[in-house]
Amino acid sequence: MATIAETVAALERHLGFDAARCRTIIRKLIDAELIPSGAPGVAVEIGDPEFAMVIIALAAAPSLRKAADTVATYDEMTPSGVWREGMPIRRTSAFEYLVDAVHAACGDLDAQKAVSGLLFEFCETWPEMAVHSPDGTSRFVSAGADSAHWQSGKQRRATTISGTALIQCARELFTEKH
């Protein structure tokens, strides 16, 4: 687990996000009860899931007040928009995929190598996370949406995070703690 100050510093250093915006996003997620608040005299702790929430909100939320809604949307997005309700397979959302990538970033060398070859692209214009790998691109979109087409007539605006930068940031925060 990492503190807010450690998380903000790592996000600024490795991923290039503004420190003030990072702190504000974390506060918005705490206020929405997505990140557990600390008790009196006990600091807020950021783990893999909370870290993934902060990255999603920073990279994809069109405004600060939509940070919590954006995280909730990413938790509902599925690969290629496949509707999985009632299917006998584990549901994997864009959020769960990112949490697994953060966890793998702190794992063994094979797991790190797999993550280092990825590019995570978070679309701000509509709900979409594209994961680019040497084998192709996987797109997480809302259930029922066509991942092969733009979801809006607007210009697509996205933030891309390399797997290598994600590894460096996650290892700084969590390596000693896993």
**pLDDT by residue (tens digit) across 126-156?**
888 999 988 888 888 876 666 666 666 678 8
Domain count, the chain: 1
pLDDT at residue 147 in the model: 61
Q: Which domain holds residue 15?
A: 4-177
Which two three-digit tokens encode residue 72?
A: 């909730």
Q: Indicate the pTM of the whole model.
A: 0.86
Strand 119-123 with 158-162, pairing: antiparallel
**pLDDT by residue (tens digit) across 21-34?**
999 999 999 999 99
In contact, 108 and 170? CB cutoff 8 Å: no
5 or 82, greater pLDDT: 5
Distance CA 177, CA 173 (A): 8
Compute the mean pLDDT over every residue in the chain, rounded to the nearest whole number.
85
HSE-up (13 A, CA, CB side) for residue 41 = 0
Model confidence at 178, in pLDDT bands (50, 70, 90)? very low
**pLDDT by residue (tens digit) across 49-78?**
999 999 999 999 988 999 999 999 998 887
Average pLDDT over residues 99-122: 89
**pLDDT by residue (tens digit) across 93-105?**
788 888 888 888 8
How would you label 104-140 residue by residue, b for 16+ Cβ within 10 Å and e otherwise? bbbbeeebbeebbebbbbbbbbbbbbbbbeeeeebbb
